Each structure stands twice: as structure tokens, then as C-alpha cells.
Amino acid sequence: MPASAPTKLLPKLRDQIQFQTSPSKQWIIISELGTKNGGGNAGIAKVEAKDDPYDRYFIEKRFLPEQIPWKVPHKEIALLHQLNDHPNILKLVDHFIDEAGKKASVYLEYCDAGDLETILAAAKNNNPVHERKIWKWFIGLIDALVYCHRGPKPEDEKAVLLYWNVIYHRDIKPPNIFLKTDRQRDEIVAKLADFGFSESVCMAYQHKKQADVAKSEAFTPGFEPPEHPEYTGATDVWQLALCMACVCTGNLAPWSKMNPTGKQWDRKQPAGRLYSRELNEMLRWCLDEDKARRPTPMQIAKRLKEVYEEVKYSLPPDLQPLVVPGRLDGNGAKKQGASSPGMRAGVNQLGGRDSRPGLHEHAFSDPEMQMMGRRDNRYDDVVQAQRSPMSPQSVADVINGGGKSLYGGGPRSGLLGGFTPGYGSHGYQSGGYPPGFGRGGYGGYGYDPRQDPRWRGY
């Protein structure tokens, strides 16, 4: 290029933001939640915006005064601003940084369905998550990783190079994945959260020596990758896949080099015996110990969607798409709209898991009645078979052990067709029923999934 030629200016990167010295909305504190699971914050509060026409809740996370000179709030706000338009990443609603007063806060989307850690604890107690939910969460979260790593045009190498500030999360774990009810889509949506330990390529090269860019100081024992302390995009893949495997198996603290007392997990069958071969194969592919062989988020996203399209027709139906294990709905909680904003990772949104008020929504109701509006006629025979009363003579036959099946169910002590006495939630091959079947799941107590053609033979 001739010396006299003008220099072509590069476009601004998406991480550039004008920091506010005061919030753009007037916020009203509903309740103080302490520093729940936060550690590096000055407090968490549930808040609402004054004159909000939708009457929604949000979360305020306050930064510590000593973090402000080190630009900690600046970094997190910039990263959240860059990622704010992805549906599977927690949204930044408002913020302020008062450097003179050493105060700073972010106002975040509120997620009413809890986090994966709560779900995981419930799954540990023989209450597995329906496999359809696992697939949908996995697909949504891997799409979020594609966005973090490559932006809105992931297949355009030039756009990624010139316009996108690549972000590595570095601390993906169950408490940092939140769940939100989307009533318009009739599903629970998973959202990646807590970018406090995240690193972007631009920030790393600006504030660190080049030799230290690929080193990671942020990790949670049990979820650190085999290549720790080195860090690449493949590390985010490992952590996300391990989170999905832990939710499937109820593993609260997986074994790793940094967590030698943790629970061992099956490298060949990460999702466990209750889930499909296809899901186990996908997780095993993502959990390759060699980071060079681990697939990229783009490769995973493409393959995940292809496999789910093939396998979803053979999975049992999810008749309770808005119900997740371990979820407790507060009596005073407001209903959130499909796009209402919310919450920081790791924060317990209703005041801590041991203090969330209210009972499960099915505590005083028949769950079948709540599902009537969502199901079609395909399952009438199954539902009616569960609910049909038995005649006095049939009851006597059962007691005496000599009755016949009322609906052609075979010689099973006179019980209704498809019902089996004596099978608990662990009655099959010592591995229990597949997700969505058995006690408390699809079919109800005593339902024998081995007689249902929709059971894929786990």
C-alpha cells in the first residue's frame, strides 16, 4: 500500500459500550436475597421497574467497592452487552457504574424455573428429567456457545474476524445455567449465565501477556477440563456436555483431578442407562479427553439438531412440558411473560432453596386435569385406562388373586390392562424406568412401560 494511501478503519467490535453512571429506569426493591451463591458480589435483590406495564420481576446484582478500580463491572457489563440478543443467554436489562461513589450494579433477566443445580439434585432422588427436555436444553445451550465463540454469523469467517470479539465462558456448571418458563412456546428454556469469569480475545490481549492468554484461573473442581489450566473453545464444550451428563445422572460433584473425592461417571455412557443411545453418543463425542478431537460448537449444533429430528418421534411424549423436577413455585410469585427479563448465574432467585415458599403446583390437584388442554386424542386410551374405576367384583377378584384383566392386559392379578403390581421405580434391569415413565412420570404408579410400544427399549 502506498504511504500516502488512507488507512482503512476497522469496524467497531460488539463489546464496545457506553457505560451509564446511573440506571436508565427507576428500580424498586422487592426483597433482599443476600449474596446467594455469589461470593464476589455486594448483594443480590429481587426488584421491579417503576411503572412497568407488564409487572415483571428482575434481579439486581451489586458489585463490591474494591472491584470497581479493577474494572470488574466494566468487563462483565461489556460482555453481557455483546451477548444480549441471544435467546439462550441471560439478558442484561440495565446497569450503572458510579466510580466516584464506588458503586455499580447490573439488572438482569429473572428466571422463574430455577437452575440446573436444583434439577440435578431432584434427579439424584430418582426423579429424572424427561429426555425431550434434555435434548432441547442441550441444543439451546450449544447454540449459545456458538454465539459466544463466533457471533451472529458463525459461518462467515470474515465477519467473525472483523466484527466479533470471541468470548470464552470458562465456568459453565449447573448453577450457571438457568431455566425460564416460556408459556408461548409451552416449554422451559435454558439460559447460559454468569460471565463474571469469562474472557474475551480482545480483553485478554489488552490486559495480559500473550503467553498467558490461553491459561485459565477460573474453574470449579469437578468441571475443569482435562487440559486445565489451558483454555480454548473446546473447554466450554467439555463443561457444557458434562453439565448435561450430570443432570441426566444426578451427579452433584463429578470426579476430576481437582476433585478426587467426587463421584465417578461413565465415560462410555455419560447420560446413564435411563437415556437413549443417541443422547449418550452425542455426550461421549463432546467429552473426548483430547481437546484436539473434541468437536466445535458449530459441529455439535448441526449434528444435535439432525439426531434429535430422527430420534424425537420414538421418544415418549412429554405431557408436562412446563414441569421440572425439584421446582417449587412461590405463592406470591408473579407470572412472567414469555420475554420478561431476569437473573445472575448461581443466584437463588426466591431467597434460597431452603426458603422458597409455596407447594408444588400438583400438591392439591390432579396433574391429568392440568394436562387436558395440552394433549390431543392420541393418549385418551392411556389416560382413561389409568383413571377408569374398577367394579366391586373386579376389586374382589384382585383381592382374591383370581381376576382377569379388564382390558386385555393378560394374567396380572385382574388389574387394568398395562398395569403391573409389584414394579417400583427400579423394577427393570436394576436401572429403573426411562425418563417420563414409572412412578410419578408418564403412566403413573404401577404403569409397566415394557408393554408400551412407545418405549424404545432402553
Domains and CATH numbers, the chain: 27-109 (3.30.200.20), 116-314 (1.10.510.10)
Task: Using the Cα atoms of residue 320, residue 321, residue 322 and residue 323 in order, give the sign of their dihedral.
Answer: positive
All three cell numbers of 5: 494511501
Give me the residues paired with residue 109 across strands.
58
pLDDT: which is higher, 103 or 14: 103
3-state secondary structure of 335: coil
Tens-place pLDDT, residues 366-409: 333 333 333 344 434 433 333 334 444 544 554 454 443 333 33
Whether residue 135 contacts residue 129, with contact meaning beta carbons closer than 8 Å, is answered with no
Predicted confidence (pLDDT) at residue 433 exceeds the cutoff of 50: no
In the prediction, which pLDDT does 216 show?
52
Give me the residues paired with residue 108 across strands.
59, 92
Predicted confidence (pLDDT) at residue 197 exceeds the cutoff of 90: no
Give me the phi and psi of 233, to 5 degrees please.
-60, -30
Predicted confidence (pLDDT) at residue 186 exceeds the cutoff of 60: yes
Considering the entire predicted model, what is its pTM?
0.69
Confidence of residue 191 (pLDDT cuts 50, 70, 90): very high
In the prediction, which pLDDT does 240 show?
98
Task: Using the Cα atoms of residue 137, residue 143, residue 148 and residue 149 in order, give the sign of their dihedral.
Answer: positive
Cα 106 to the chain's mean position, in Å? Answer: 22
Helix 297-311 crosses helix 277-286 at what angle (to 10 degrees)?
A: 180
C-alpha–C-alpha distance, residues 414 and 328, integer Å: 38
Tens-place pLDDT, residues 98-133: 999 999 999 999 999 989 998 888 777 778 999 999
Of the candidate ranges 199-203, 243-247, 452-456, the one whose mean pLDDT is the lowest: 452-456
